[in-house]
Amino acid sequence: MTRERQELGRRGEDRAAHWYRQRGYTVLDRNWRCRRGEIDLVVRGPDGLVFCEVKARTTAAFGLPQEAVTAAKQRRLRALAAEWLAAHEGGAGPLRFDVVAVLGDEVEVIAGAF
């Protein structure tokens, strides 16, 4: 991955984390890694625990960011969430999987995306 793409991803995750914080969520983890992969954001809010996949793009020339979250990516994120829960106490309660699409300056949170 090029440095430019890494920076775009980091800025997208920063914007997503800011969006959640503004709405009263607490960011528990960013870029949590295990041998299976990485979870971009894990946040807790009044409605429970949220696992977030963040996709950022500068333009929609190659499709919308949320279109990059394929069925395989969804399965992987579910498996990663199970590993995160096993590694953290107090993770019980309602769970949700969100996709945060960052396109230019716009942030769209798709709550309960899958």
CATH of the domain at 88: 3.40.1350.10
Report pLDDT for 114: 93
| Predicted model pTM | 0.91
Range 62-83 average pLDDT: 96
The secondary structure of 22-78 as a DSSP string is HTT-EEEEEEEEETTEEEEEEEEETTEEEEEEEEEES-STT--GGGG--HHHHHHHH
Question: How many domains does the chain fold into?
Answer: 1
| Helical (H) or strand (E) element with 20 | helix 3-22
Rounded distance between C-alpha atoms, residue 94 and residue 99, angstroms: 17
Range 19-27 average pLDDT: 97
The per-residue pLDDT of the chain, averaged, comes to: 94
In tens, the pLDDT along 9-21 reads 999 999 999 999 9
Asked whether 16 and 26 are in contact (CB, 8 A), the reply is no
Q: What is the CA radius of gyration of the chain?
A: 14
DSSP structural state of residue 11: H
Tell me the three state secondary structure of residue 4. Answer: helix
Beta strand ranges found along 46-113 (DSSP E): 48-57, 95-103, 106-110
Task: Give the domain range for residue 59.
Answer: 3-110
Range 98-102 average pLDDT: 98
